[in-house]
Structure 1
Amino acid sequence: MIDWLPELAVAILATVLAITLHEAAHGYASLALGDDTAARAGRLSLNPLRHVDRVGTIILPGLLLAFQLLTLGRVEFMFGWAKPVPVDLRRLRNPRYGMVLVAAAGPAMNMFLAWCAAMLAHPLDALADTLPADLTELGVRFIVLSILANLLLGLFNLMPVPPLDGGRIMVGLLPRRPAMALARLEPAGLVLVLLALFLLPRLIPSVDPMAWLIQAVSGPGFRLILQLAGHG
């Protein structure tokens, strides 16, 4: 077997679960609040193929995987996104605050999945003496990558710029005039965020939002999830 194939498999599994369940959470929250648009579009599904975005789900994660496996021999960082689940605000029982809840459902799911991954360490630790060392190590890698992928996806989406979830939460919570001004950024919001993450550090080396985000996820965020899962 190719040495890095198991590493690739657990990295893909962790990333696909994080992205798919994030989007599914938006769809189920929308349905619970009165909007069945996602269900009618066939997007109320746990099938990852229904949520695939060419760039965010295939190209960018693929490049990250290939680069890390070829240079490091392992995966330390994964990032991507899925095709947004359609939501019709007019169908929500309370459009403004319904939007806040629907937007918050995705990051909330990622935090829950990160905690679930950390909880898996308990049975893995209990079975460590009876399992092959390679399998135990692979289980640890899956847990670590699941925690990191979910924390990164959840926190990235909480950035207060639409169409990210944090931007839509802010639009629902701000007074009408600033909310409308922020909402107008949505068509260009993702481009602005990507420019800030990847271009800004080249222009101003001391300002690197992606590095800050990764440090927060791999440092205090990771430790907090472990503590919440009872790992001290």
Structure 2
Amino acid sequence: MQGVVRLNNGNWIAQIAVYAIPVLLALTVHEVARGYVAKYFGDDTAEQEGRLTFNALRHVDPIGTVLLPLLTLVLGSFMFGWAKPMPIAFEKLRNPKADMFWVSAAGPAANLLMLLFWGVVLVISLDMNLFPALKMIFAGEAEGWLANVAGAGLRINMSLMLINLLPIPPLAGGRMLISLLPDRAAMAMVRVEPYGFFIMIGLVATNALSPILGPVAFTVYRVMDLVM
């Protein structure tokens, strides 16, 4: 797998060309999924503000969508970033505490679906003979580029899914835990939320996520190696 997703670290133009599309898709679909699930449970705030769209430009955050993914790419850490937060008014949900679980889970679920999508793309890119029409479009260097993009999509969505499932509010895992905990314990978790951003930046900056998420990521990569 390393031969597919690892590029020459000195060629930043090539790195950006490979990672730009998967990063934008991963962060955009993650947020839009949350918006649609919130709407299903009664909160149409995102729709009213014009955010229920797959136009990535409506969701780009200069730091979370551009700077931080580039930084984690340079550091070789788990890919971490965010899009412009989807406007969700939890108090508008029909059952705010219970429905918060599903709204929060929608983001990692979207990343899981994209993980599977990029896996299919990777398999196709490695054997274009299965799809003659695509082979005419993606041939030679373009074929290798598609394989690298698919590999990057796998890495990015796996990282975002695993990181978002950490039980640290305002990450999805933290809010899912708040939804499941008794009221008193849930309120204690809510008080952690203002510091959640700084906790995550510290974990990323110190590469402390590797011992936590590394074994899972290693298992996924081993499975991918066997497939290839």
TM-score, length basis structure 1: 0.81
Q: How does 1:68-217 map to 2 (within 5 A)?
A: 78-127=79-128, 130=135, 132-198=139-205, 201=206, 208-212=207-211, 215-216=214-215
CA distance in structure 2 between the aligned counterparts of 1:78 and 1:180, rounded to whole angstroms: 30
Secondary structure in 1 matching 2:54: coil
**Match of 1:30, as an amino acid?**
A
Q: 2:162–2:213: 8 Å Cα contact kept in structure 1?
A: no
How far does the alpha carbon of each residue in 1:167-214 deviate from its partner, in whole angstroms, 9 at most, with x for none? 10000001111101001111121112222342xx4xxxxxx5322356
CA distance in structure 1 between the aligned counterparts of 2:174 and 2:221, rounded to whole angstroms: 24
Q: 1:35–1:87: 8 Å Cα contact kept in structure 2?
A: yes
CA distance in structure 2 between the aligned counterparts of 1:134 and 1:28, rounded to whole angstroms: 38
CA distance in structure 1 between the aligned counterparts of 2:92 and 2:227, rounded to whole angstroms: 43
Aligned residues: 213
Shift of 1:152: 0.5
Q: Percent identity?
A: 36
TM-align CA RMSD: 2.7
Q: 1:78 to 1:29 in 2, by over 3 A?
A: same
CA distance in structure 1 between the aligned counterparts of 2:40 and 2:191, rounded to whole angstroms: 27
Shift of 1:15: 0.7
Q: 1:214 to 1:160 in 2, by over 3 A?
A: closer
CA distance in structure 2 between the aligned counterparts of 1:155 and 1:77, rounded to whole angstroms: 9
Secondary structure in 1 matching 2:83: coil
How far does the alpha carbon of each residue in 1:32-70 deviate from its partner, in whole angstroms, 9 at most, with x for none? 1111011112211111122122211122224455x47xx
Q: 1:124 to 1:192 in 2, by over 3 A?
A: closer
CA distance in structure 2 between the aligned counterparts of 1:20 and 1:150, rounded to whole angstroms: 12
Shift of 1:14: 0.9
Shift of 1:121: 2.6
User: Residue 60 of structure 1 corresponds to which residue in structure 2?
Assistant: 68
Q: 1:59 to 1:197 in 2, by over 3 A?
A: closer
Shift of 1:95: 1.1
Shift of 1:126: 3.4
Secondary structure in 2 matching 1:162: coil
User: Residue 44 of structure 1 corresponds to which residue in structure 2?
Assistant: 52
TM-score, length basis structure 2: 0.82
Consecutive unaligned residues of structure 2, counting only runs of 5 or more, are 1-10
